[in-house]
Structure 1
C-alpha cells in the first residue's frame, strides 16, 4: 500500500512538471488564476478599462487572459503599444468577430470593423480623400460655424430670462448631431420650431439608433449560451440594425428623389458642386455601381454617426466640467482668445493662434479619452510582444486610459494641468504616450474634424459667456461605462451669462437665427 502511495505521488509530480513545462514552452504573458472553461470571464466587469488597469497594476503592463473560448492580450504601457503597432502593426490590423459585429456591420464591411485588405484600404482612401481631406474640412467650415452660432443663440436667449440652468450634455449632443447631419445630408436634426419635448424625444431616438453600444458580451466568449437559448442580446442587435438601416436608407432615398425631381440643369450643377457626403458617395456609386452598393454608403454614414457624435459631445462635456472646476484655466483661455480675436466671433482660421485652447483640449483627452480602450484588434498570426509568445487569434486590448495616467510618463498624472502640453510638441511627436484617436494604420481618420469642431465650439463658448457652477460644490467627475465610450455619471448642468462686450455680437446672431 505504501508503495502505491509513492507511485501516485510520483505520477502527480510528473503531471505537474509536464503542465509546467508546457506552460513555459508556450511562454505566455503573466496571467491571474483561471477557472475551468470560464477562464477569466469572472473578471469581465464594467467599466472594463478600470478593471483591466487594476489587474495590470497587480500583474504588470502585459497581461494574458482567457475570456471563455477566446484568448485576450491586455497592454498598458507605451513601449508595448509601440511594439504592437509598429513591428506587429500588420499582424494586429484585423478586428475580432462578435455578435454585435455579426448584426451591425453589414457583414463586416463597414470601415471600423472591416478585415484588413483591399476593401478596407479602399474605404480608407475614400475617407481620407473625399470626407476628411483638408479641402473637405475647409468646405465644411461654414457648417461648423453656423451650428455653433445656433448653440450660442440658444444659450443667450436662455440666459436673458434669469438664472437659467443649462443641460450642457443635451445641448452638446444636439450640436454634434445637427452638425453631422448637415455634413451627411444637408439638413438639421433639431429645428428651432420643435418644442423641448419634441427635441427630447428625437434625441432619445437618435441615441438609441446610433449609440456606440458594447463590442463584446458574454455570448461572444461563451458560444454555448447562444446555443441553449440563455443569451438573447443578438435579438437586440437585430432590432437596432433594422432601425439604423431604415434611417440611413431613407436618407439615401431622399436624395435620389430630389435628383428625379430636379431639372437637368440643376442636376448638372449638383454634379459639379457636391455639398454633402451622401452626394459624394452617390457619385462614386454611379461610376461603379457593382462595387459601391447602398450598404457600402450606409456603412460609411453609420460610422460617422456612431463614431463621431458621442465622442465629440462627450469631449466637450468633460472639457467644460474641468474648466468649471478650474476657473483660473478658464480665465487664461479667455484672455488668450480676447487677445487674438476682437470685435467678432471666433473663426476656424483663428484656431492656430490659440495654443492654450489646444492644450486644454489635449489635457481633457488625456484624462478622459472618449474611448479609453482602443477598439480591439486581432492577431492574424503568432507573434512576439514584450518577449512573450502571442497565439494567433488573440484579441488585443490597448488600455490608453491607463497609459494617459501612467506616473512614469506624466508628472501628477491625475491633475488637470494643460500647461504640460505647452511647447512645440505635436500629438504625433509625443509618440505612444498620448493616443486619444488611436494609433497605427487603423487610427481614427476623423481626428482632424473632431479636433477642429471641439476647439471652435469650446473656444466660442469661452469667448461669449461667463460660466459658473450650479452651487458652490465642484462639478463631480465620476464616470460611467455603458459601452465603448466613457460618459459622465451625471449630465453637466451649468449657468452662464454673456460678457457685456459680446452682447451686441450675440444679439445679431440671435436675430439672424
Structure 2
C-alpha cells in the first residue's frame, strides 16, 4: 500500500521537475550560487543595502535571489526600478506579508502592509485627502512652527541664553527625535511630550519606548520569515517580543482614543466639540467613525495613526541629522545656506514654511542629503501578483521585490562623483531627469512626502538661521551608517553651537 509520505514526495518531485522545465523556457535574471535550504541568506551582513550593493557590482543590477524559500528580485538600476513602478506597477502593488510582520500590522491591514485592493485604497484616500493633503498640512503649519521654535528656545537656554563664552556641545540626535515625536503626536492626538521645561512624564517615557522598540524590531532579520522550519522555534525571540510590543502599543493608542473621546463628551457646546475634533487626526477619524462605525473601528484608527506616527518620526529626524552632519563636514555649503537665509528672510523673524520655496539652496542641500542618505535605503518590499517581465527577464509570480534606492542614488552612470556631497548638482534644475526615489514611486509612494519636506526644511533652516555650528574637534563628523530600516547614523551627531548675535533678541523672546 502506497504511504501518504510517498505520494507527497512524488508530488513534490513532479512540481520541482515542472519548475525546472518551465524555467528553461524563461529567461530568468542572474542568480549567484545558492546553498540548500537557506539560499542566499549566507551572503548578507548588516546593513543589508550594502550587501546588495556588493552583489549588484559583481553580478549586475537585476538579480533573482532566494531568501530561504522566498524568491526575491533585487533591482539596483533606475531603468529597472522605473519599469517595476510604471509598466508593472499594479503587478508589484502587493506586500509580501512576512510572518513576523503580522503582529504589528493588525494582521496585514495597515496602510503600509495591506495588499492592493479596496481596503488599501480607502486607507490611502484617508491618509492623502483627510490627513496629509495640502489643505490639511496648511492647517497644521502652526503646530510645526511652534515645535521648531520650542526646539530653538531649548537650545538657546541650554547655551545659557547666549551668555556663555564660546560654544556649547550638544548631542543633536535625541533633540531631533523629540522634535519629530512632538510634531507627529500633536498632529495625531494634540499632545506634546517634550519641552515647556517640564519633566518627562511616565506616559512620554512609555511612548518613546514603544516607538523605539517598533523601529528596532521592524529592522530585525527574522529567519523564520524565510525558513518555515524555524517559525515554530522562535529561537531569536522575535515573535515573543513582537506580541508583547503589540499589546503595549494597542493599549497606549486605545488610551489616546478614549481620552479624546471622553474629553469631547465633557464639552457641552456641540460646535466647540466639532471644532476641537478637527485639530488632530484622531478627532478626524472619530468623526468618520460616526458615519461608518463598522469600517472605522477603534482598531483601524489605532493602526492607521501608529503607522503614520512610526513612518513620520525616525525618518525625518534622521534626515535632519544627516544634513547637519554633511554641512558640518562641508563648511562652504553651510555658509552658503546661512547667507541665503540672511538675504531672503533676514534676522528680524524666524524662518517660516512659506519661505522654503524661496530658499533654493536649502532645498538643494535637502535633496542632496536624501540622495546620499535616503530614509529608506531599501524601499519597503513589494510582491508580484503574476508573472511579468523586467529588463527582458521573466519574473515569476509571488516574487518579493527589493529596490536598492541607496545604490540607484549613488550610481556613477547617473551622477558625477556620486559619493561626494555637492548640493550644486541640483541648482537651476540641473538635477531634473536624474532619478531619485527617497519616497518610493508608483501607487505605494509614501503619502507623507509633503509633510516630511516641510518639517525637515523648517527645522534645518531654523537651526542654521539661529545658531553658529562647528565640529567638536578637527576631525570630520563620523558618517558611518548604522543598521535599521531608516538608515540611522552609527554614531549620534555631536556638535558645538552658539546663538548668533543677530538672533539673540528673537531667541530670547521665544
Query: Do both proteins adopt the same fold according to a TM-score greater than 0.5, normalized to the shorter chain?
Result: yes
What is the CA-CA distance between 1:298 and the residue it aligns to?
A: 0.8
Q: Measure the CA separation in 2 of the matches of 1:217 and 1:254.
A: 36
Q: Does structure 2 retain, via aligned residues, the 8 Å contact 1:379–1:395?
A: yes
1:45-84 residue pairs with structure 2 within 5 A? Answer: 45-84=45-84
What is the CA-CA distance between 1:390 and the residue it aligns to?
A: 0.7
SS in 1 for 2:322: helix
Aligned position for 1:506? 507
Q: Which is further off, 413-422 or 184-193? A: 184-193
Aligned position for 2:85? 85
Q: Measure the CA separation in 1 of the matches of 2:340 and 2:207.
A: 35
Q: Which is further off, 162-171 or 310-319? A: 162-171
Correspondent of 2:171 among 155, 167, 178: 167
Aligned position for 2:3? none
Q: Identify if the C-alpha distance between structure 1 residues 116 and 199 changes in structure 2 by more than 3 Å, giving closer, same or farther.
A: closer
Q: Identify if the C-alpha distance between structure 1 residues 246 and 176 changes in structure 2 by more than 3 Å, giving closer, same or farther.
A: same
Q: Measure the CA separation in 2 of the matches of 1:183 and 1:336.
A: 30
Q: Measure the CA separation in 2 of the matches of 1:198 and 1:294.
A: 24
Aligned position for 1:315? 319
What is the CA-CA distance between 1:21 and the residue it aligns to?
A: 6.9
Q: Measure the CA separation in 2 of the matches of 1:375 and 1:22.
A: 30
What is the CA-CA distance between 1:362 and the residue it aligns to?
A: 0.4
Residue 58 (structure 2) pairs with residue 35 (structure 1): no
1:325-364 residue pairs with structure 2 within 5 A? Answer: 325-342=329-346, 343-364=348-369
Root-mean-square deviation over aligned CA pairs = 2.1
What is the CA-CA distance between 1:238 and the residue it aligns to?
A: 0.5
Aligned position for 1:6? none
Aligned position for 2:303? 299
Q: Measure the CA separation in 1 of the matches of 2:202 and 2:340.
A: 39
1:405-420 residue pairs with structure 2 within 5 A? Answer: 405-420=410-425
SS in 1 for 2:451: helix
Q: Does structure 2 retain, via aligned residues, the 8 Å contact 1:76–1:403?
A: yes
Q: Measure the CA separation in 1 of the matches of 2:203 and 2:173.
A: 14
Q: Measure the CA separation in 2 of the matches of 1:105 and 1:54.
A: 32
Correspondent of 2:244 among 236, 239, 245: 239
What is the CA-CA distance between 1:99 and the residue it aligns to?
A: 2.6
Q: Measure the CA separation in 2 of the matches of 1:270 and 1:453.
A: 28
Aligned position for 1:271? 274
Q: Measure the CA separation in 2 of the matches of 1:81 and 1:61.
A: 10
Q: Measure the CA separation in 2 of the matches of 1:196 and 1:29.
A: 53
Q: Does structure 2 retain, via aligned residues, the 8 Å contact 1:38–1:67?
A: yes
Aligned position for 1:109? 109
Q: Which is further off, 36-45 or 376-385? A: 36-45
What is the CA-CA distance between 1:201 and the residue it aligns to?
A: 4.9
What is the CA-CA distance between 1:493 and the residue it aligns to?
A: 0.8
What is the CA-CA distance between 1:248 and the residue it aligns to?
A: 0.8
Aligned position for 2:135? 135
Gaps of 5+ in 1: 1-16
Gaps of 5+ in 2: 1-16
1:457-472 residue pairs with structure 2 within 5 A? Answer: 457-472=459-474
What is the CA-CA distance between 1:207 and the residue it aligns to?
A: 3.6
Q: Measure the CA separation in 1 of the matches of 2:112 and 2:59.
A: 31
Q: Identify if the C-alpha distance between structure 1 residues 229 and 144 changes in structure 2 by more than 3 Å, giving closer, same or farther.
A: closer
Q: Which is further off, 210-219 or 499-508? A: 210-219
Q: Write out per-residue CA displacement over residues 213-266 of structure 1, whole angstroms, 9 at most, x where no aligned residue.
A: 227521100011123454531111111111111111111010111022221x1x
Q: Does structure 2 retain, via aligned residues, the 8 Å contact 1:39–1:65?
A: yes
Q: Identify if the C-alpha distance between structure 1 residues 59 and 377 changes in structure 2 by more than 3 Å, giving closer, same or farther.
A: same
Q: Write out per-residue CA displacement over residues 112-140 of structure 1, whole angstroms, 9 at most, x where no aligned residue.
A: 00110001111111111111111111111
Q: Write out per-residue CA displacement over residues 379-424 of structure 1, whole angstroms, 9 at most, x where no aligned residue.
A: 0011111111111110000001000000000000000000001113
Q: Identify if the C-alpha distance between structure 1 residues 501 and 354 changes in structure 2 by more than 3 Å, giving closer, same or farther.
A: same
What is the CA-CA distance between 1:186 and the residue it aligns to?
A: 0.9
- The alignment of Structure 1 onto Structure 2 pairs a total of residues equal to 487
1:177-196 residue pairs with structure 2 within 5 A? Answer: 177-195=181-199
TM-score by length of 2: 0.92
Aligned position for 1:3? none
Aligned position for 2:384? 379
What is the CA-CA distance between 1:439 and the residue it aligns to?
A: 0.7
Residue 480 (structure 2) pairs with residue 494 (structure 1): no
Q: Does structure 2 retain, via aligned residues, the 8 Å contact 1:225–1:231?
A: no
Q: Write out per-residue CA displacement over residues 316-361 of structure 1, whole angstroms, 9 at most, x where no aligned residue.
A: 0000000111111000000100111121111111111000000000
SS in 2 for 1:104: coil
Q: Measure the CA separation in 2 of the matches of 1:469 and 1:198.
A: 34
Q: Measure the CA separation in 2 of the matches of 1:494 and 1:53.
A: 31
Aligned position for 1:443? 445
Q: Write out per-residue CA displacement over residues 253-283 of structure 1, whole angstroms, 9 at most, x where no aligned residue.
A: 10111022221x1x32332461111100000
Q: Measure the CA separation in 1 of the matches of 2:77 and 2:485.
A: 20
Q: Measure the CA separation in 1 of the matches of 2:288 and 2:349.
A: 40
SS in 2 for 1:479: coil
